[in-house]
Structure 1
Amino acid sequence: MEGNKLEVSINKQSDLQYVKDYRPQTEGLQHRILLHGPVGAGKSSFINSVQSVVKGTTSKKAGAANISGSSYTRKYTTYRIQKDGQNTFHPLVLNDTMGLECNSNRRKKVYVKDIKQAMKGRVRDGYTFNPECKISKEDPKYNPDPTANDKVHILLCVVDASAVSQMSPKAIETLQDIREEASDLDIPQVAILTKIDLICPEIKKDVKNVYRSKILKKRMEEFSAAVGYPMNSIFPVKNYHEEINFNSDIDSLILSSLRDIIDNLGSS
């Protein structure tokens, strides 16, 4: 057991340093990570978890709530990670979006169109999503001339592992449509499965069991088959939620997924 703890600690420190040392090859470029996915998947919680683990202090800047059936996040919001003791930020920024509500074809189409505009960098920070109406060129939050820093560099699909089997055909089709839009824009796509402790008693008992959980592997395979993400582009994560103190095993999963996200950015 002590050996396992030491290995987790070493991996955690290695991944943390990797994230902190990361620099895009293009000077001044910030890599934008766009999070999207069904309502309640844990997008905001993942942002808070990433900020907390990288900074080493608890962060709850991204609003998160247990609201069934509707999205807590309504505004397009950019979150930056401040460097240690400096008034500067890491070159990775995360954008939170409204959760996918698939109760009508209209909402599905509006969601896809807004996410596509965001990927193109045409949605300014603070835009309030309207499930019934996509952003218009007349909207003050519409950006007609996006720069490289405004555009999305990687698409991150966030899905609740415990809800994979219950995803509606509309939700699956919407996630597929967004993947296709991202592919057309040459934007890499990865996915994370959250709330993994809710689907497997062994993971709930010890997060390190994520690496040998047959239940989790099955959920990952189900999601891969349904939406089309390759297995090596799907990363299991447990977000910080009710925990008061940091947990090295939770940290390691978050940092490992963040390192893989960075690797998927390529050499841009």
Structure 2
Amino acid sequence: LKVLCEFSFTVLRTPWREITWGGTRQALKSLKEFQPQNEEATHIRVLLYGPVGAGKSSFINSVNSVLQGRMTNEALASATTSDQSFTKIYQTYKVKKEGRGNFYPFVFNDIMGLEDGDGRGVRTDDIKNALKGHVKDGYKFNPSCSISAGDSGYNSFPSVSDRVHVLVCIHDANKSEIKSSVLQKMREIREAASDLGIPQLAILTHIDAACGETEGDLRNVYKSKHLKKKMGDFSSSLGIPMNCILPVKNYSNEIQLDSDVDALILSALKMMVDFGDDYADKL
């Protein structure tokens, strides 16, 4: 009886958001058939940003694993707990499709994590330039100096495909409050994207570590009172609407795919691609 009372105290009776569990076949089919509406766009570009250690590279790895149907490690996420950003280079990640030389028509860019204080982590001006397509693939970030016109890594004439079509903030649901200096950087990035009309989403990672009820059963994600509050607090602090915040669990310790993990990742990915495609179609 005590266990049941404790469970009812932390978990809602009915989920506050619906998701189709186990129904990954339709989502996979939709993504496999996807083509950008704008014929000038060879792909939809998704830019991931967020604090150090939030799980940006791990999310790319997880998406790749789900679409490949096996475990992968394409983005080489750091396994350390260091507060220094593991990602140093602006790199485009493609996802292989069936058939030699085929790729899904959406790509990811991972950037250095946002760090507390000046001169650490990626500079907000670099992200603003990336949004406009001015940062070339392979550019090495310099925490003390932003990229500018004339630099070898600067793209003076970005194409539709070079531009970012959807901006995604990655945040660790298991972390405490975001430091004020990091939050300010995140707001500046959001404002720059808003000025360009770029759609924005947020991904909350590590939802299993953040909530015992979700760790025990991932299907409790939209019943968890703790996670709902976390999402609400994050929405208030950054200004991203609740319906644009998606909780996921990245693959980390697993050696086999899990259909519930896949369902959350595919739900987030589908929304990213749809939002990005709508924006690219207007360019």
Same fold (TM over 0.5): yes
Match of 1:17 among 26, 29, 42: 29
With normalisation by structure 2, the TM-score equals 0.88
Q: Superposition RMSD on alpha carbons, in Å?
A: 1.4
Q: Which has the larger radius of gyration?
A: 2
Select between 20-29 and 144-153 the one with higher mean Cα deviation: 20-29
* 1:189-234 alpha-carbon deviations (Å, 9 max, x no partner): 1000000111110111111111201110010001000000000000
With normalisation by structure 1, the TM-score equals 0.92
Q: How many residue pairs get matched?
A: 258
Shift of 1:136: 2.4
1:80 matched residue in structure 2: 94
1:39 matched residue in structure 2: 52
* 1:93-117 alpha-carbon deviations (Å, 9 max, x no partner): 000100111223x558x62100000
Do residues 129 (structure 1) and 141 (structure 2) align?
yes
* 1:24-81 alpha-carbon deviations (Å, 9 max, x no partner): 1122511100001000000000001001101212221102112421000000010011
Shift of 1:137: 2.0
Do residues 263 (structure 1) and 270 (structure 2) align?
no
Structure 1: distance between partners of 2:40 and 2:97? 16
Higher percent of residues as helix: 1
Structure 2: distance between partners of 1:107 and 1:187? 26
Do residues 8 (structure 1) and 21 (structure 2) align?
yes
- Paired residues of 1:47 and 1:94 also in contact (CA < 8 A): yes
Gaps of 5+ in 2: 1-19
- Paired residues of 1:63 and 1:72 also in contact (CA < 8 A): no
Structure 1 SS opposite 2:108: strand
2:66 matched residue in structure 1: 53
AA matched with 1:101: E
* 1:143-190 alpha-carbon deviations (Å, 9 max, x no partner): 111010100000010010111x32111111111111100011111010
Structure 1: distance between partners of 2:83 and 2:117? 10
2:238 matched residue in structure 1: 227
2:229 matched residue in structure 1: 218
Gaps of 5+ in 1: 1-6
1:236 matched residue in structure 2: 247
Instruction: Report the identity percentage.
Output: 48
Which stretches of structure 1, 4 residues or longer, exceed 6 Å deviation after superposition?
none
1:4 matched residue in structure 2: none
Structure 2 SS opposite 1:184: helix
Structure 1: distance between partners of 2:100 and 2:263? 24
Match of 1:102 among 85, 110, 116: 116
